[in-house]
Amino acid sequence: MPSRDIVEAFAKRLEDGDFIEAIEQFCAPDAATYENNAAPMVGRDKLVAKERGVLAAFKEVKAVRVGPSLIEGDHVATRWTFSFTNAEGVTRTLDEIAWQTWRGDQLIEERFYYDPKQMGR
């Protein structure tokens, strides 16, 4: 079960824009992420590579947590708003729920739930 301090430190990394560092610091080597109901991406190194690709595709990416993270045993739920600004200055916003499973202080699984149509608006 993650401590409140660990969950808050993870969220602060994201809010500070330290996306790569958050993965490297908090994800287990065998961590998996799921985008909605898609097949998982497994392995911290793959998660870092994917995140680098996302960050390279945009001029700016911002994360804002909406309300507190809810912790129940090994599970954490957080609502996020992500803003993605492209090279032309157009910003798209994604409202998402992240459902996490932790093993102690390491994130082992994260599932992102959102409406992909949001990115086209």
**pTM for the predicted model, two decimal places:** 0.93
Quick one: what percent of the chain has pLDDT higher than 70?
A: 99
Encode 38-103 in three state secondary structure: CCCEECHHHHHHHHHHHHHCCCEEEEEECCCCEEECCEEEEEEEEEEECCCCCEEEEEEEEEEEEE
pLDDT: which is higher, 120 or 14: 14
pLDDT of residue 106: 98
> In whole angstroms, what separates CA 97 from the centre of its chain?
9
Residue 116's pLDDT band (boundaries 50, 70, 90)? Answer: confident
pLDDT of residue 61: 97
